[in-house]
Structure formats: C-alpha cells, structure tokens
Amino acid sequence: MTIVSRPADTGHVLRADAVDLVRDGRHLLQGISLTVSPGEHWALLGANGAGKSTLLGLLGAVTHPTRGVVEVLGRTLGRVDVRELRSYLGHVNPRHAPDGPLRVRDVVLTGLTNTAALVPRWTPGEQEAERADRLIAMLGMSHRAQATWPTLSQGERGRALIARALMPQPRLLLLDEPATGLDLAAREQLLASIDALRTRHSSLATVLVTHHLEELPATTTHSMLLREGRCLAAGPVVEVLTSELVSACFDHPVRIVRSDDGRWAARAQPVPVTMPHQTASPSAAVL
C-alpha cells in the first residue's frame, strides 16, 4: 500500500483536464476540464443522466478517468492511494445510512474514521469531541445531538451528514444533491446552513450537484452545465446561469431570475397559443 502524507496546499483544490469516462463502450463523460480553487463554490447542473454524480465521483477519488488527468488536493489519481486521499475529503451523500440507530453526535464522530459505525475501542480525543459539538451547533442541531438516527427528519439527517463530512477538517466538501427529498422548510434550513458554513470557513472549496436552481445556496460562485456527459458551459455563476445557456442545457425554454438575496429560480417561457379560426354558425342570429 502506498501511504500519502496530508496533501499539500497547492494553488488549486481540484483539477480535471480533458477527462473521459467510458463504461461498456459508452461515454459517460467526455472532454471535461475543470479547476476549483480554495474558497470557490461550484454547482454542477444538468438534467437526469447528464453526468453530474459521475463527475462528482471522479472529483471525490471514488472512480478513475478512462482518459485525462484528475488532481485532487494536489494528488493525481492513478498515482496515489485513493483510500488515504478520500480521508482528507468531505463527501456528503444523503443516502448514507449509519450502521445501527446511532445518536447524531456519534454519527458526526464517524466522520473521523470514515465508517458507518463507531470503531470498537476507539475514543475521540478532547479536541475532536469539542469539534463535533461545535459543528453540530453551527448546523443548528445541538437540540438533537442525542437523538437517534431513525427519529430524525430528512432535513436533520442532511445537516448531520454535513457536520460528519467536516470532522476531518477537509479543504474540499462535495455535496451530492443534499436537498433531495426535503420539504420547503427543511430545504431552506439546509441552504442557510451551507451559506453559514461557507462564510465561516472562507478557504473551504465546495462542489454541489443538483438539477434544481432553487436548491443553489446564495454563496455559489461558479457553475458548470452538463449535457449528455459534455460540458456546455463553465465559469463564474453570473456568466453561466443565463436563460440561454440553461435553456440549452435542459433542452427547454426557461427564463432565469435571481432575487435580491442571491437565490435563483427558473420560469418557463410562455408558449404561444394559436387559437383555431372561428366562423359564425349559419344559424347564428345577428342582433
């Protein structure tokens, strides 16, 4: 096994260069290039099957590219022990299931061991325990710290998983559709927590996957639009999330609006309705 030291602080957190991913002769990703720097907050957007979660798997050192280069925290995939590398990433998967009815605080602590349950005979240090409590508080979950996982709402689980992902003090946080299955109130609480997190940790880089513009936090700085495994556009969010580009990405005419608080929404463009030509009935009376 090749052991890596803690990744060095390079000029970028992530870099993908001309990346292809091929499975069973089919291109899932083709010609993808992306650079994420410290403090940037990227959104990967596209229709179902566009390749968003597939790309996130590459950026999270879960899969390897068929062609091209992927660097994560200054380390090149294919030349590094990915299990060790993943220990320095924060990956929020809303489908994560703890092993057993763990308490919230215990779930958060498993972020240090990257396991689904607490490791037998392992005890967190004082500083680690204090960090868990701070993260739970920052994400508004102190009142639920002793609650067991089955009793949590989907929104509470999402915030607990973000706290878990932050336990290793990562420089990179990956969020795979974190608002999936949330009702309106829970979604807004989650997005407010993400905004607060990004503000408090100014050097943290994040990449968030979604196909709903309404699920983008206001602190989003950059975006990539994916269509059929290819990059349609990438760059500063104000240049990418335009009505023209988003319409092309989803193959449907929409109008993009951004509110004063920095949130986005998509509105369907009105479709002209052609009324059939009407003629008067021969029996119609003229009054």
* Same domain assignment for residues 27 and 119: no
* Same domain assignment for residues 154 and 223: no
Q: How many domains, the chain? A: 2
Cα–Cα–Cα angle for 172, 177, 181, nearest 5°?
140
Q: What is the DSSP string of 21-62?
A: EEETTEEEEEEEEEEE-TT-EEEEE-STTSSHHHHHHHHTTS
Integer Cα distance of 80 and 285 in angstroms: 87
* Same domain assignment for residues 155 and 179: no
248: Cβ contacts below 8 Å, ≥ 6 apart: 225, 227, 232
Q: What local confidence, expressed as pLDDT, does residue 285 receive? A: 46
Domain closes at, from 153, 169, 185: 169
* Same domain assignment for residues 21 and 100: no
Q: What local confidence, expressed as pLDDT, does residue 220 receive? A: 97
Residue span of the structural domain in which 55 resides: 1-89+172-272
Query: pLDDT tens across 20-75, in order?
Result: 999 988 899 999 999 999 999 999 999 999 999 999 999 998 889 999 999 999 99
Query: pLDDT tens across 202-234, in order?
Result: 899 999 999 899 999 999 999 999 999 999 999
Helices within the chain (DSSP H only): 52-59, 82-86, 104-109, 126-138, 154-166, 184-200, 237-240, 243-250
Q: What local confidence, expressed as pLDDT, does residue 281 receive? A: 52
Query: pLDDT tens across 74-131, in order?
Result: 999 988 888 888 878 888 887 888 888 899 999 999 998 888 888 888 888 899 999 9
Domain closes at, from 121, 151, 169: 169
267 residue type, one letter: R
Domain closes at, from 137, 169, 201: 169
* Same domain assignment for residues 82 and 178: yes
Enter the pTM of the model: 0.84
* Same domain assignment for residues 25 and 155: no
Integer Cα distance of 84 and 272 in angstroms: 56
* Same domain assignment for residues 69 and 6: yes
